[in-house]
Amino acid sequence: MKHVRRVYLYSRFERFWHWTQALLILGLGVTGFEVHGTYTLLGFQRAYMWHVRLGWALVALIIFAAFWHFTTGQWKQYIPTFERVGVMLRYYTQGMFRNEPHPYKKSEISKLNPLQRLTYLGFKILIAPIFVTTGLLMVYADRWAEWGIPWSLRSVATVHIIAAFLMLMFFIVHIYMTTTGRTIFANIKAMLVGYEEIPWDTAEEGGQAGV
């Protein structure tokens, strides 16, 4: 059994941001699908009211998180690289099912492996902005003529739904990937307490990567 050391990887704000965002996205999913007519739980009016409120809360969180990332320099964690992406894909599709060692070394200054960087960056600059923008447009649909917006409500709603499904897919895959760490709950524990256990023999270079 390898010796490990505890490394503080996730600050209090990162953990607050992560779990708050997860709860907001979950709430938006529950209320959003009801607004879409998938099922009846709260009733359309209450579901719509909470969907809008949760949407505004997500917007506020995104603005706050963006400010934190840029003022602390944590935005550098998401700088994309295609180096070793193929290696990571092979590990996630084959290697981890054969108990092969994780090919990426995590550290305080490099928390995300190349595949995670691309995935999270895509979420932050593509899925989330489209989801939020189309949602806000629908909230203010009665102002479109005044603003000169030529699109139809149906087209904007369709794009919003597509973004919502992409976000749902990301959410499900993300939950699954949290179980692929050193132990099944190691990554979740790290995001709760801030500390992650890193193998001692690779500690100076980083440690086993997680999600």
Is residue 199 within 8 Å of residue 186, measured between CB atoms? no
Q: What is the mean pLDDT of the chain?
A: 86
Query: Is residue 211 domain-resident?
Result: no
Query: Is residue 147 domain-resident?
Result: yes
At 200 the pLDDT is 62
Query: Is residue 185 domain-resident?
Result: yes
Q: Looking at residues 12-20, what average pLDDT do you find?
A: 94
More confident call, 108 vs 44: 44
At 202 the pLDDT is 43
Question: How many angstroms separate the CA atoms of 101 and 55, rounded?
Answer: 40
pLDDT tier, 210 (very low <50, low <70, confident <90, very high otherwise): very low
Looking up residue 109, the CATH number of its domain turns out to be 1.20.950.20
3-state helix, strand, coil in the chain (%, to 5): 70, 10, 25
Query: Is residue 78 domain-resident?
Result: yes
Query: Is residue 31 domain-resident?
Result: yes
pLDDT for residue 199 is more than 90:
no
pTM: 0.82
Residue 149 domain boundaries: 4-205
Q: At 53, which helix (H) or strand (E)? A: helix 44-72
- Specify which residues 208 forms β-bridges with: 105
Query: Is residue 210 domain-resident?
Result: no
- Specify which residues 4 forms β-bridges with: 199
Closest CA to 91 of 104, 110, 81: 104
Please tell me the total count of domains within the chain. Answer: 1
At 104 the pLDDT is 81
More confident call, 1 vs 105: 105
Q: What is the Rg, in whole angstroms, of the alpha carbon atoms belonging to the chain?
A: 20
